Structure 1
Amino acid sequence: MTPTLSAPVAARLRLVTALGRLSAYRLVVVVLAALAAYSVVLGALGWLPFGVPAMLASLLVCLAASYGVNRVVAAAVRVTPQADSSLVTGLLLYFLFWPSLAPLDLAVTALAGTAAALSKYVLAVHGRHAFNPAALGAFVVGLTGWGAAAWWVGTPPMLWLVLPGALLVLYRVQRLAMAGLFALVALGVFTAAVAQGGIAPLTSVGQAVSQGPLVFFAGFMLSEPLTMPGRRLHQFGYAAVVGVAYALPFTLGPVSNSPELALLVGNLLAFVFGLTRGVSLRFVERRELTPTSHEFVFLPSRRVRFAPGQYAELSLPGGGPAGAGSRRTFSFTSAPSSDLLAFGVSTAPPLSPSKRSLMGLVPGQRVYLAAVGGDFVLPRDTDDPLLLVAGGIGITPFASMLRAARSSGEGRDVVLVASVPTPAELAFAGVLRASGARVVVRASDGGAPADFAEDAGSAPFSAARLRELVPDIDARTAYVSGPPSFVGAVARELREAGARHVRRDAFSGY
């Protein structure tokens, strides 16, 4: 039981939960498909400068090249193809190249789709491509001299749906701040550059937003998770670099500035500095944590750098349409010093496709860690007192934190407060017992917790109750993890109770 939410907060959490049922890739597919349908309607109404037959032909070629080549290459190298990723690439290319019925134009579009699909295998390490495929496909076409990306999506009629679609995607992947920084930098550089020609700042900003691909670029390409850094600070630097490259005019031989080149520059820097590397994982075993949760253990092909509290994006077999693979995020439960990687997952029915894929793994089977990310990490100052509040399976990042603190000998002052349906649903009991942390457990059924934990009773986590359970809460940095409704309600009560800082990590479903 958690405190009552106000109507606006409850509505926002319902949106988060609904979006969480879709993977980020599936959401992008849905939004881009809606944009494609919208563009065809605009073409039929004469609001776009090309006819419906040309648009449909271009769309078909983009999807066929991206999806078809991806399936063929995946079969040749015996890996599971990522259907959603291929559809995203094909749909993105549709908005980049001018629709046409001319055979040569369609051939150039097909070349872009082929180059994009091949880049996912040729320029990839352990299931993670180094460059945004759509941007690379457009750049390759530009180098040939046979054509160039037109980015026709950057037109005023399209903006009416591109803007809300981009905001929805950025909200889902929690990249609004990063995209905002990119836009500020790009608009600032662009305004300064055109000011020399006597164009007023407001005019230049309006043109860049309504008559250019900036919004589409930020929402659907800059936010691509596999080619960006995982930590927020690195993401801001990445966005700033791409923003400068996006807006700064230059020509170097046959190469001149373009949106696709700007993104590739950012991708390259992130890859060179080791911020975007994939890892092959060999499945070792599945451990039961509680009657409705399991820990999945893997042996990585090399040491994985992560901070306790972060998550990994795993590329799983199955889990998608027509047997295609899927990518989903899971919190680390192992310590960074461990030779093995572990992830805690709720396995209560009904199981999602990704969870069915996990449950079906057999020892020795390989999956790929495509990305590491998240800023739900402990403060560097080990003297900072901590309050960790977990709702159900939200305890998983805390398991990694406590394991890491114990393995490194850190003497952190930690109070962990957990809310579970029954005492039997408290995961990582052994980790909690060995951690030395003060553990307080609230069971919804009123059952008494294990002997190493204090009984919090059945009262909800209101501000007053939290102050009773943790009298020195105003001296502690608080972390809250669990389902969105739990996190949203408890974070508000933590702030009201006087917690110094409140960090949040919502499990929106997978």
Structure 2
Amino acid sequence: MLNFLIAVLAAVIGFSFFGILPYGGLDILFQTLVFILLCWAANKIFTQIAGIKPNPESAVITALILSLISGPFNVWSDWIILLIIAASAMASKYVLVWNKSHIFNPAAVGVIAGMVMGYPASWWIGSKYILPVILLGGYIVLKKIRNLHLTLSFLAAYTILLILTRPLGQLSGVFLDSAIIFFASVMLVEPLTSPQNKAKRIYFGIFVALALVIFQRLGLAYSLELSLLSGNMLSRILSPDFRMAVVLKRKEYLNQSIIGFWFDSLRPIVFQPGQYLEWTLSHDKPDKRGIRRYFTIASSPTEKEILLATRISDPGSTFKKELANMNPGREITTSKVSGDFILPKDTSRKLLFIAGGIGITPYRSMIKFMLDSNEKRDIILLYGARNKEDFVFRNLFSEAERIGLKNIYIEGGIDSEAIKLNTPDFTERIIYISGPEPMVEAVVGELKSIGVKKTMIKTDYFPGYEKI
């Protein structure tokens, strides 16, 4: 998202320099730098008061959004307004909270604060010249974060409602204005203020569209921001959040590069096998990927401890380095149980599990759960890795053969020939695929090439890994 916003800002400044947009390129750049400075400083102050370490990237993203929808301001005369907008946006993350997680989109709160001061958001980003940049960049980002369905549900519902409530001649102008696309691609999809479940995200998008049309029909100012804040409230009702510190009990070295981290929780974490948690690990000088990650819960709901298993590479992210250096007794914060990569309720359905490298973790959770519950299923596990040393949890999988699991280990990639050879009845099975994103996309392509229907494929992936 950060790179996308920088690209949009660069396009705006470039178009302004060439006279395509009626703004001063240097003025926009200066305003943006001031917003970044103010958001960064306010975020640092609030995190120090709260006793937590700041996430600088989050503050920069909010600053860029604010700069693209507010003003343009005369920084010299309006600096106090910029300060109020930035401080309000950052304060909302630490004041307007529930279970230690912020409720509202920070940029929307900042804009509302500007409105109260008599400086409404102009949404000056709304221009047909910027529309191609936002469409292309937004599509790439939404595909990457797998949130395209949320944006599309909002846009589809909004279009239908406009058709029902406005003359058709007014519709083209709405969508040639890039503001609505920017709103749907950037602000609507903020992960911490939107639901974590796919179905709930679709309902969320439809609700925000409905609220937007109602507010517009009522003639309310700031209908975009108010509809989003209303949706944020609904999101919290649909997906009641929790934040809980878990304590590292022990580390288990599964091989030379994969470590299992076993945590104790103060109270049970309710989840289904195959789901994931958001993990927050504060540390000094985090890199641009920040202090939060999503990791599958590799343990089963039947186990008392929570297992996070991941590959630690060198060089790696600052998050992974801090995680690897954790000693027993240290805490890490967990939140937002989510994910649809779960077992079907019908235990008679035949399944094919395809794993690439560390993508084995959700299957470890599922298989351990089935073992402890004595739940028998017809499952074939195709487990691909670079070499035999990279195969982990083999003892557990061998034990699970008594409940119907068939294990097949493949050194290297998994292609259509390997699938046909080892799973003659693959067209009869629901096929689960988990691993690095390039591997998941490649396997999906292989399956489609041999006639597997999309409805028979469930995918999970781990961004950041380029190889198995």
Q: Say whether residues 1:442 and 2:442 are aligned partners.
A: no
CA offset at residue 218 of structure 1?
A: 1.3
Q: Indicate yes or no: 2:124 matched with 1:152.
A: yes
What's 1:503 paired with?
A: 458
Instruction: Please give the secondary structure, in 1, of the residue aligned with 2:433.
Output: strand
Unmatched segments (≥5 aa) in structure 1: 1-27, 196-200, 445-457
Return the TM-score normalized by structure 1.
0.83
Q: Which residue of 1 aligns with 2:230?
A: 265
Distance between the aligned counterparts of 1:205 and 1:303, measured in 2? Answer: 50
Identity %: 28
- Is residue 137 of structure 1 aligned with residue 115 of structure 2? no
2:373 to 390, 405, 408: 408
Structure 1 segments of 4+ aligned residues over 6 angstroms from their partners: none
* 1:108 aligns with one of 58, 76, 81: 81
> Partner of 1:175 in structure 2?
147
- The alignment status of 1:300 with 2:273, answered yes or no, reads no
SS at match of 1:136: helix
Shift of 1:379: 1.3
Give the distance between the partners of 1:176 and 1:119, measured in 2 at CA: 26
What is residue 287 of structure 1 aligned with on the other side? 252
Query: Where does residue 318 of structure 2 map in the other structure?
Result: 353
Assess if the C-alpha contact under 8 Å between 1:251 and 1:257 holds in 2: no
1:64 aligns with 2:64: no
| Correspondence 1:108-507 to 2 at 5 A | 108-125=81-98, 128-142=101-115, 144-195=116-167, 201=168, 203-250=169-216, 256=221, 258-318=223-283, 321=286, 325-435=290-400, 436-444=403-411, 461-495=414-448, 501-507=456-462
How far off is 1:399 after superposition? 0.8
Unaligned runs of 5+ in 2: none
Output the CA distance in 2 between the equivalents of 1:126 and 1:193: 39
What residue in structure 2 maps to residue 9 of structure 1?
none
Q: C-alpha separation between the residues in 2 aligned to 1:64 and 1:51?
A: 20
User: 2: distance between equivalents of 1:86 and 1:351?
Assistant: 23
- Give me the TM-score of the superposition, normalised by structure 2: 0.90
AA matched with 1:468: L
Deviates more, 1:219-228 or 1:118-127: 118-127
Q: Which has the higher contact order (CA 8 A, sep 6+)?
A: 1
Retained in 2: the 8 A contact 1:271–1:277? no
Alpha-carbon distance between aligned partners in 2 of 1:476 and 1:502, rounded to the nearest angstrom: 9
The answer for the alignment partner of 2:69 in structure 1 is 96
- Correspondences of 1:34-49 after superposition (within 5 Å): 34-49=7-22
Query: Any idea what SS the aligned residue of 2:130 has?
Result: helix
Where 1:400 maps in the other structure, the secondary structure is: helix
Cα 1:489/1:43, change in 2 over 3 Å: closer
Residues 428-487 of structure 1 show CA distances to partners (whole Å, capped at 9, x for unaligned) of 12331333343433343xxxxxxxxxxxxx8x6443442332233332211111223332
One-letter amino acid of the structure 2 residue matched with residue 264 of structure 1: L
Deviation at 1:90, TM superposition (A): 0.6
Match of 2:50 among 66, 74, 77: 77
1:455 paired residue number: none
**Distance apart, 1:32 and its partner CA:** 1.0
Distance 1:333 1:61, change over 3 A: same
Q: Which amino acid aligns with 1:158?
A: I
Query: Residues 151 and 306 of structure 1: is their aligned pair in 2 closer, same or farther, counting only changes over 3 Å?
Result: farther
* SS of alignment partner, residue 375 of structure 1: coil
Tell me if structure 1 keeps the 8 A contact 2:215–2:227. Answer: no
Q: Distance in 1 between matches of 2:386 and 2:250?
A: 26
Pair 409,390 (structure 1): closer, same or farther in 2 beyond 3 Å: same
CA gap of 1:250–1:429, structure 2 versus 1, over 3 A, is same
Higher mean C-alpha deviation, range 64-73 or range 126-135: 126-135
- Contact kept in structure 2, 1:81 and 1:324, CA below 8 Å: no
Report the 3-state secondary structure (helix = DSSP H, G, I; strand = E; otherwise coil) of the residue aligned with 1:412: coil
| Aligned-pair CA distance for 1:350 | 3.2
Query: Which 10-residue stretch deviates more, 105-114 or 224-233?
Result: 105-114
Aligned-partner Cα distance in 2 for 1:133–1:491: 37
Deviation at 1:319, TM superposition (A): 7.5
SS in 1 for 2:246: strand
Between the aligned partners of 1:148 and 1:244, the Cα distance in structure 2 is: 22
